[in-house]
Amino acid sequence: MESFISLLWILLKVGLIIGIAYFIFRMVLWLFLCYAKVYYTRESGERVFVGYLWRKNANQYTLYDGIPVLGASRIGCIKPVDNSIYLKTMNDQHNYVEILQGRFTDDGEVYDNTACVAVCKLSEEKKAIALSIDNKTEVAYATGSRRARQELMIRAAAVGTLWKSVEDSEADCPDVRIGFVDLALPAALVFLLFYIPFSLVAHSFALFPFLGWEVSYTLNMIIFYICIAWILYGVKHAMTLRNQSLAFMLGLIDRNVGVGTINIVIIVLSIIGVLSCTFITSYTMLPLFLVLAFAFIMNQRCFNGLWKLSEPCSTWGRKWKRTTSGASKSVAFPQGISGKTLVERTFDWGPALDLKGITHQHEQVTVRLYEEDFKDSQATGTVRNKNPFRKGVNSTEDILDFAGQVLKGSDENANKVEETALVQIINSGYQICQRYNLADFELYSLVLLFCQTNIRYILDEESEPINRCHEYFRFPSETLYDGEGDCDCKSVLAYRIFELLGVDVNFAILKMGDSDYLNHAGIILKKNASAIVPLPPDFKEYAPNKGVYCELTGEGYAPGELPQGVNIDSIMTFKKATVV
C-alpha cells in the first residue's frame, strides 16, 4: 500500500510540474503575443481549426498551422497593400505554393476573386465571426489573445472564410491537424527503441535533484519523450509528405490491422506494468509504461476521431478533369424533354461495402434516364435502336466491330444522359470514399463491386428487355435501365466508368472453360506510372506487362483475381472499336 501511495505521489508531482509549465507557456503566449486562432465552420455547425494568424511588425500578418516557436509551418499571409489573402494550395506541378484566394475590405466584406461571399464582424471582445451573404449563417470564426485588436480579428475571420471556400472547391490545402496528439504514438515507438541509453543518462544526470530521485528520473525520461516528439514534428514539416499529416499513414495502419483492439490490449498491459513497478518498488521502467499508456490512449482517441485520412480520395478530386467530362461534385439530373418520360433507377452500395468489411449507413445512388429510349428498339434515335447488336451477330468479326461501337457509349453530342448517369455513380463512390475514409486506390475495387452487386446476372437468351437475343452487348445506360445483364454488359458498364475516371482501361474478350470460341468478357486495368492513381502492388497482372484482369460476373472478385477456367492465352483487348 505504501508503494502504491508513493507511486501516486510521484505521478501527482510529475503531472503537476508538467501542467504548471504548460499553463505558464500558454499564459505567456496569451498575455504578451498578438495572434488569433482561425476556424472555418462546416454546414453542420462544427468549427474546424485552421491555424494561428500572427501580427508582426505593424501590418504584417502571417498564418501558421501551429505555434511558430514550436516549429509550425507557414500556410498563408495577408498582403497589407490591398488586403489580399494568400493561402497555401497545390499547383499543377503538385507543389504547395501560396496563391491569391481573395481579399477583404475595411468594412469586413470578404471577396473570393469573383464576388462578395461573407461579411466579418466582432461578436464580442476578442472574438469575431463571418456570416455568409446569402443566408447569414456562420462560415468562419476567430478568437484572439489579450493583445489582439479589432483589425486582427476581422482579418482572421476573413482568412477562415476563404479557407472554407478553398476546402469546398476541393483544392488541395495543407493538413493543419498535425500536433502532439498525432505524434504521440510514433514518438513513443522511438522512445521505446532508445529507452536503455536514455535511462542511463537519466540515472547519471538528475536535472531536478531537489524533487527526489524518483520524480527527477521520471521527469528526465518524459523530457526525452517530448524532445523526440518535437524533433519528429520538425522533420515532418521540413522534410516529408508535402505537409500532409502523419495520420495519412497511421490511419491506413489503423484501418487495415484493427488497431483499436491492439490499443486496448497494450493500454491494459501498460497499466499492469505501472502497478508492477509500484509493488516491486523499481521505477526504472515506470516512465516507459507511462509513455506507452499515454501514447496508445491518444492512438485510440485518434482512431475513433482525429486519425483518419485527411481528404480521402483527394487525388481523384484534384486530377479528374470534371470540366471536360461534364462531371461535377453535384451533377444535375436531366430535367425532362417534351414527349419523354424520366424514370429513376436506384442502386444500393450496401452489398459492395459489406464485401469490403465496412460498417456503413444506407448508401444509395439514383440515376435518371428517359423511358422511351429503351422501350422500342425499332424507334429511330432511341438507345436500343442505336445498339448494333440488335441486327444480329454472324461472326467473331461482328462481335469485335459491334463491341467497339458499344464502348463509345450511346450519348450524342448534345445529349449526355448516359454520361451524366455514370458520373452520378462516380461522384457517389467518390463521396463514399470520403465519408468512410477510404484511400485513393480503393475507388477501383468500389467501382468493380458496384457493377458486380447491383446488376443482376442473366444470360442474353433469357433477358426479356433485349428480346432474348443470342448475343447482345448493352450500352451502359441499357444495363442501368434494365438492372440486369451478362458478363459483357457488366464489363461495358465498368469500362465506361473507368474511362470517365481517366483510368487506362481495356475491354477484354476471352475463352472460358473448354469453349472453342470467345464466350466471356471482362476488363483490363493497365499499370501506368502517369496514372491519376497508380494501381497498388496487390493488383496482380495476369501476365507480365499485360494488365490487371477484373472479373465482373461474380460478387467479391478482387482486381487481379482470375475466376476458375479462364484461358489467359485467349484474352483479346479493345479500346473503343480499335483492336489492341
| Res 459 pLDDT > 90 | yes
Is 50 exceeded by the pLDDT of residue 306?
no
CA distances from 106 to 109, 369, 371, 410, 486 (A): 7, 51, 56, 54, 65
Q: What are phi and psi of 106, to 5 degrees?
A: -65, -20
Of 468, 421, 448, nearest to 523 (Cα)?
Answer: 448
CA distance 548 to 377: 35
Q: What is the pLDDT of residue 4?
A: 55
Question: Has residue 494 got a pLDDT over 50?
Answer: yes
* DSSP string covering 5-72: HHHHHHHHHHHHHHHHHHHHHHHHHHHH--EEEEEEE-TTS-EEEEEEEEEETTTEEEEESS-GGGTP
Mean pLDDT (the chain) is: 80
pLDDT for 365 equals 93
Residue-level pLDDT at 524: 95
Alpha helical stretches, state H, 79-179: 150-168
- Digit-coded pLDDT (tens) for 334-344: 555 656 888 99
249 confidence band (pLDDT: 50, 70, 90): low
CA 258 distance to own-chain centroid:
19
| pLDDT band per the 50, 70, 90 thresholds, residue 577 | low
pLDDT tens track for 191-205: 888 888 888 888 777
Contact present, 517 and 496 (Cβ < 8 Å): no
Greater confidence (214 vs 577) lies with 214
Could you give the C-alpha distances from 576 to 155, 360, 430, 496, in angstroms and in order?
A: 53, 36, 25, 10
Does residue 491 surpass a pLDDT of 90?
yes
pLDDT above 70 (res 327): no
pTM for this entry: 0.50
Q: Looking at the DSSP assignment, which residues form a beta bridge with residue 506?
A: 524
Kindly tell me if the per-residue pLDDT of 304 is higher than 60. Answer: no
C-beta of residue 550 within 8 angstroms of C-beta of residue 524: yes
Mean pLDDT in residue range 374-391: 89
CB–CB of 388/406 below 8 Å? yes
Residues 39-53 have pLDDT tens digits of 988 877 778 888 899
